[in-house]
């Protein structure tokens, strides 16, 4: 059997390696139009920022390695020009010699990846304008940094790569301006979590401009539509990626709604004996079951392995994606998995949301605060998604949430997890357990939550809401929710008899715990429409800061 793989980065090499493990008899050839293979694309920002000493550390494997270890032939700088599915042949061009030749296959695997999506901004072809998608991009940026030594940079787009590069350039002493057309940074997060990232960036000396449109990129600046000129001796376009599907589409392979290749769980396309994997394919979501496009390195490796297995008669099948991702920006860790609140509501779920603000470990051992936003389905209790912003321990909690969501856990199940505990690593009640407690109380325990967005929307609509600040008076005097009355927790039992039991009531404290205790007091005294403000005053202030870009 002859297997041809198109593309030799994460998915393609994973497919070839698995195919070889399944079959010693197969003849396996990979065609790659680039000069680098099987590289760590996710490590590129860290090389540019100086954390990775040598570029070679990101490109540890070459064709000779795969030939020696797997008996797989990799031909770099060879571009597949066309495919004839009826004759099972591909047309290939040697980009060095210019020779064009034909090759036959029994099984064909597309691993053509994705390319940087660049908006049609005048000046984007300038020598000081870059994208970061492959090793050659990285080397061009490195050469520019070494030769030109820019003092200012603009980064267009605030996704993973944009913010990782923001960190790397800032480490080099370059003044960075982030430019985002949306009203918030980190488009994958909900606005009430993105505000924490934006605040951290600004405190770290990064200029952040959201809700903007770019008119032109010049040699030393980026000009905005409103006439503002941003100093930028270099510009990075980090505005997402698009799947490389031209070759597949021309061959008659069906594309999905996102424009990526449509495959089944076995990575099979609509054409016999043709598979696809990696950043060029659509996946299906674990929670909704619907097709999505989530190009991630971890997913590329996974789908590549499945394609190589199934192409050689194996039985592996894909189980879906959650789009789990995490990045670090200037010391802040930001992660997400599953559905955001916005996505959950768009999918038709009656979403219950909580904001849990807890240290990753005891403060006496240097614990630092993290904010966890979790989303669950009110009807079934199923956990739908989570977002976390913090300094340490974010990855650990995010992986727990991702595992729970993958296996269909309910929010209440989180409390019963037997997680590792010792003071250097966690609190006795881990933030994950607390999140389960909060959601379970809201869904089944008669202790509903109200988000800051909902409270502000109700007040804006003229609805009468009795808001009770349960903190000590000094904290109330310093700052409080609009329209709130100061009734400290210690005085609430005595004051309750003077309050309207039929009023819509919201209790709050700094972060939510005392607000919940006050909510319990009022419920036990016959108040029947009592909510605890999710995330307390801290979350309320965060949402207020983001009001200019938030739609109620």
Strands 369-377 and 383-390: antiparallel
Residue with tokens 């390319």: 115
Strands 283-284 and 291-292: antiparallel
191-203 vs 536-545: helix axis angle to the nearest 10? 80
* Cα(426)–Cα(141) distance, integer angstroms: 40
User: In which residue ranges of the chain is pLDDT below 70?
Assistant: 548-552
* Cα(46)–Cα(310) distance, integer angstroms: 35
Phi, psi of 59 (to 5 degrees): -130, 60
Residues 6+ apart with CB under 8 A from 143: none
Burial of 510 (0-12, 13-18, 19+ CB in 10 A): middle
Q: Give the CA radius of gyration of the chain.
A: 26
- Which residue segments constitute the domains of the chain, with CATH numbers given? 2-39+57-113+242-311 (3.50.50.60), 129-239 (3.50.50.60), 331-443 (3.50.50.60), 449-549 (3.40.250.10)
Which sequence positions are flagged as catalytic? 42
Sign of the torsion formed by the C-alpha atoms of 3, 4, 8 and 12? negative
* Cα(522)–Cα(227) distance, integer angstroms: 54
pLDDT the model gives residue 465: 96
* Cα(279)–Cα(261) distance, integer angstroms: 9
Residue with tokens 């005392």: 514
Task: Supply the DSSP string of 292-354, one letter for each residue.
Answer: E----HHHHHHHHHHHHHHHTT-------B---EEEEETTEEEEEEE--HHHHHHTT--EEEE
What element of type H or E holds 92?
strand 89-94
This prediction has a pTM of 0.95
Sign of the torsion formed by the C-alpha atoms of 406, 412, 416 and 419? positive
Phi, psi of 251 (to 5 degrees): -85, -5
Within 10 A of 246 (CB to CB), how many other CB atoms are there? Answer: 9
Burial of 83 (0-12, 13-18, 19+ CB in 10 A): buried
Residues 192-213: pLDDT tens digits?
999 999 999 999 999 999 999 9
Three-state DSSP at 101 gives: strand
| Tokens, residue 435 | 């999140």
Return the DSSP state at 254. P
Three-state DSSP at 127 gives: coil
């Amino acid at each position: 059997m002859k297997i041809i793989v198109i593309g030799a980065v994460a998915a393609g090499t994973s497919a070839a390696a698995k195919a070889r493990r399944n079959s010693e008899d197969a003849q396996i050839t990979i065609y790659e139009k680039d000069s680098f293979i099987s590289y760590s694309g996710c490590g590129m920002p860290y090389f540019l920022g100086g954390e990775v000493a040598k570029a070679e550390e990101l490109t540890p494997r070459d064709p000779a390695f795969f030939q020696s270890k797997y008996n797989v032939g990799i031909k770099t700088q060879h571009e597949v020009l066309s495919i004839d599915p009826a004759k099972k042949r591909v047309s290939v061009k040697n980009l060095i010699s210019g020779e064009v030749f034909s090759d036959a296959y029994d099984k064909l695997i597309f691993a053509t990846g994705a390319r940087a999506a660049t908006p049609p901004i005048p000046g984007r072809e300038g020598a000081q304008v870059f994208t970061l998608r492959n090793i050659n991009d990285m080397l061009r940026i490195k050469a520019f940094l070494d030769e030109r030594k820019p003092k200012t940079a603009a980064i267009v787009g605030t996704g993973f790569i944009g913010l990782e590069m923001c960190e790397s350039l800032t480490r080099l002493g370059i003044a960075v301006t982030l430019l985002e057309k949306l009203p918030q940074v980190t488009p994958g997060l909900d606005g009430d979590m993105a505000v924490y990232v934006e605040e951290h960036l600004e405190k770290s000396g990064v200029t952040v401009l959201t809700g903007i449109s770019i008119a032109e990129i010049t040699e030393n600046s980026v000009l905005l539509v409103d006439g503002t000129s941003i100093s930028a001796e270099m510009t990075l376009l980090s505005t997402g990626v698009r799947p490389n599907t031209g070759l597949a589409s021309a061959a008659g392979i069906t594309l999905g709604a996102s424009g990526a290749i449509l495959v089944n769980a076995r990575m099979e396309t609509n054409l016999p004996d043709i598979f696809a994997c990696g950043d060029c394919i659509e996946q299906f979501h674990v929670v909704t079951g619907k097709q999505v496009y989530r190009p991630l390195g971890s997913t590329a490796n996974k789908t590549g392995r499945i394609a190589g297995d199934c192409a050689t008669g194996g039985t592996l099948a894909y189980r879906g994606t959650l789009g789990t991702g995490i990045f670090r920006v200037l010391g802040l860790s930001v992660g997400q998995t599953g559905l955001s609140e916005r996505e959950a509501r768009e999918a038709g779920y009656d979403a219950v949301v909580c904001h849990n603000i807890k240290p990753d470990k005891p403060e006496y051992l240097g614990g630092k605060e993290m904010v966890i936003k979790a989303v669950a389905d009110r009807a079934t209790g199923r956990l739908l998604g989570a977002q976390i912003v913090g300094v340490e321990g974010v990855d650990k909690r995010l992986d727990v949430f991702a595992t729970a969501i993958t296996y269909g856990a309910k929010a209440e199940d989180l409390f019963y997890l037997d997680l590792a505990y010792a003071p250097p690593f966690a609190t006795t009640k881990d933030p994950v357990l607390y999140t389960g407690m909060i959601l379970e109380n809201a869904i089944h325990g008669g202790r509903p939550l109200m988000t800051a967005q909902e409270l502000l929307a109700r007040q804006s609509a003229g609805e009468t809401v009795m808001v009770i600040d349960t903190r000590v008076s000094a904290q109330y005097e310093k700052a409080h929710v609009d329209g709130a009355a100061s009734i400290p927790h210690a005085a609430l039992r005595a004051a309750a008899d003077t309050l309207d039991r039929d009023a819509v009531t919201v209790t709050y404290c700094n972060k939510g715990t005392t607000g919940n205790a006050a909510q319990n007091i009022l419920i036990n005294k016959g108040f029947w429409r009592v909510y605890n403000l999710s995330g307390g005053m801290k979350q309320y202030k965060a949402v207020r800061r983001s009001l200019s870009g938030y739609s109620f």
